[in-house]
Chains A and B, each alone.
Chain A
Amino acid sequence: MKRYVARRLLLLVPVLAGVSIIIFMVLHLSPGDPAEIMLGAQATQEDLARLRSELGLTEPLPVQYARWLGLVLRGDLGRSIWTKRPVLVEVLDRFKATLVLTGSGLVLSTLAGIALGVASAVRPNSLLDRLSAVASLFGASMPVFWLGIVLMVVFSLWLGWLPASGMFAPYGGGDLRDLLSHLVLPAVTLAAASVTIVARLTRATMLEVLGQDYIRTARAKGLVEWRVVLRHGLKNALIPIVTVIGVQVGYLLGGAVLTETVFAWPGVGTLMIQGILARDFPLVQGCVLVIALAFVLINLAVDLLYAWLDPRIRYA
Chain B
Amino acid sequence: MRDHDLTRLARRNQLAVLALLALTAAVGVAVLAPWLPLADPDAVDTPNRLRAPLSPGHWLGTDEFGRDLLARLVWGARVSLLAGVATAGVAMLIGVGLGLVGGYYTGWIETVVMRLTDILMAFPYILLAIAIVAGLGSGLRNAMIAIAIVGFPVYTRLVRGVVLSIREREFVEAARALGGSDGLILRRHVLPHLLSPVIVAFSLDVGVKILATAGLSFLGLGTQPPTADWGSMLATGRQFVILSPHVVLLPGLAIFVVVLALNLVGDALRDFLDPRTHAA
Whether both chains belong to one complex is answered with: yes
* A27, B137: Cα distance in complex, Å: 11
A137 touches B263 (CB 8 A): yes
Question: How many residues belonging to B are interface residues under a CB distance threshold of 8 Å?
Answer: 46
Specify which of B126, B137, B231 is in contact with A254 (CB 8 Å cutoff): B126
Do A255 and B234 form a contact, CB below 8 Å, given A150-B249, A273-B220, A288-B131?
Answer: no
A143 touches B256 (CB 8 A): yes
B264 touches A142 (CB 8 A): no
B115 touches A18 (CB 8 A): yes
A137 touches B122 (CB 8 A): no
> Counting CB contacts under 8 A, is B272 at the interface?
no
A288 touches B263 (CB 8 A): no
Specify which of B128, B137, B256 is in contact with A141 (CB 8 Å cutoff): B256
B234 touches A146 (CB 8 A): yes
Do A258 and B215 form a contact, CB below 8 Å, given A137-B264, A146-B256, A295-B124?
Answer: yes
Q: Looking at the complex, which of A67-75, A226-234, A276-284 is the stretch in contact with chain B? A: A276-284
A258 touches B126 (CB 8 A): yes
- A197-224: contact bitstring with B at CB < 8 Å (1 yes, 0 no)? 0000000100000000000000000000
Residues of A contacting B220 with CB < 8 Å?
273, 277
Do A143 and B133 form a contact, CB below 8 Å, given A15-B122, A292-B123, A295-B122?
Answer: no
B136 touches A18 (CB 8 A): no
- B134-169: contact bitstring with A at CB < 8 Å (1 yes, 0 no)? 111110000000000000000000000000000000
B241 touches A22 (CB 8 A): no
What 7 A-B pairs are tightest by C-beta distance, nearest first?
A29-B135, A18-B119, A146-B252, A254-B124, A141-B260, A254-B126, A141-B259
Specify which of A26, A153, A253, A296 is in contact with B131 (CB 8 Å cutoff): A26
> Counting CB contacts under 8 A, is B195 at the interface?
no
- A282-294: contact bitstring with B at CB < 8 Å (1 yes, 0 no)? 0010001001100
Residues of A contacting B215 with CB < 8 Å?
143-145, 258
Specify which of B122, B252, B259, B280 is in contact with A150 (CB 8 Å cutoff): B252
Do A143 and B252 form a contact, CB below 8 Å, given A28-B135, A276-B133?
Answer: yes
Question: Separation in Å of the B251 CB from the closest CB of chain A?
Answer: 8
* A257, B126: Cα distance in complex, Å: 8
A-B contact pairs, 30 of them (CB 8 A): A14-B115, A18-B118, A18-B119, A19-B119, A19-B122, A23-B131, A26-B131, A26-B134, A30-B136, A137-B263, A141-B207, A141-B256, A141-B263, A142-B259, A143-B234, A143-B259, A146-B256, A149-B248, A153-B248, A157-B241, A250-B124, A254-B124, A257-B219, A258-B215, A258-B219, A272-B134, A273-B130, A273-B220, A276-B130, A284-B131
> Counting CB contacts under 8 A, is B242 at the interface?
yes
Question: Separation in Å of the A64 CB from the closest CB of chain B?
Answer: 15
- Quick one: which of B233-280 are within 8 Å of A by CB? 234, 238, 241-242, 245, 248-249, 252, 255-256, 259-260, 262-264, 280
Do A254 and B127 form a contact, CB below 8 Å, given A25-B135, A273-B219, A281-B134?
Answer: yes
Residues of B contacting A262 with CB < 8 Å?
238
- B170-195: contact bitstring with A at CB < 8 Å (1 yes, 0 no)? 00000000000000000000000000
Do A255 and B119 form a contact, CB below 8 Å, given A30-B135, A140-B263, A157-B242?
Answer: no
Specify which of A146, A150, A257, A299 is in contact with B127 (CB 8 Å cutoff): A257
B125 touches A254 (CB 8 A): yes
> Counting CB contacts under 8 A, is A152 at the interface?
yes
Question: Separation in Å of the B212 CB from the closest CB of chain A?
Answer: 10
Do A253 and B245 form a contact, CB below 8 Å, given A30-B135, A137-B263, A150-B252?
Answer: no
> Counting CB contacts under 8 A, is B218 at the interface?
yes
* A114, B118: Cα distance in complex, Å: 28
* A276, B137: Cα distance in complex, Å: 9
Residues of B contacting A299 with CB < 8 Å?
122
Specify which of A145, A146, A254, A276 is in contact with B221 (CB 8 Å cutoff): A276
* A29, B127: Cα distance in complex, Å: 16
> Counting CB contacts under 8 A, is A161 at the interface?
no
Residues of A contacting B137 with CB < 8 Å?
30, 37
Question: Separation in Å of the A261 CB from the closest CB of chain B?
Answer: 6
> Counting CB contacts under 8 A, is A251 at the interface?
yes
Which of B118, B135, B252: most chain A CB closer than 10 A?
B135
A26 touches B124 (CB 8 A): no
Residues of A contacting B262 with CB < 8 Å?
141
* A30, B141: Cα distance in complex, Å: 13
Residues of B contacting A254 with CB < 8 Å?
124-127
> Counting CB contacts under 8 A, is A138 at the interface?
yes
Residues of A contacting B234 with CB < 8 Å?
143, 145-146, 149
> Counting CB contacts under 8 A, is B17 at the interface?
no
B119 touches A15 (CB 8 A): yes
* A29, B136: Cα distance in complex, Å: 6
Residues of B contacting A157 with CB < 8 Å?
241-242
Do A149 and B256 form a contact, CB below 8 Å, given A143-B211, A250-B125, A254-B124?
Answer: no
Residues of A contacting B115 with CB < 8 Å?
14-15, 18
* A152, B124: Cα distance in complex, Å: 25
> Counting CB contacts under 8 A, is B18 at the interface?
no
Across the two chains, which residue of chain B brings its CB closest to A292? B123
Specify which of A141, A150, A251, A276 is in contact with B134 (CB 8 Å cutoff): A276
> Counting CB contacts under 8 A, is B214 at the interface?
yes
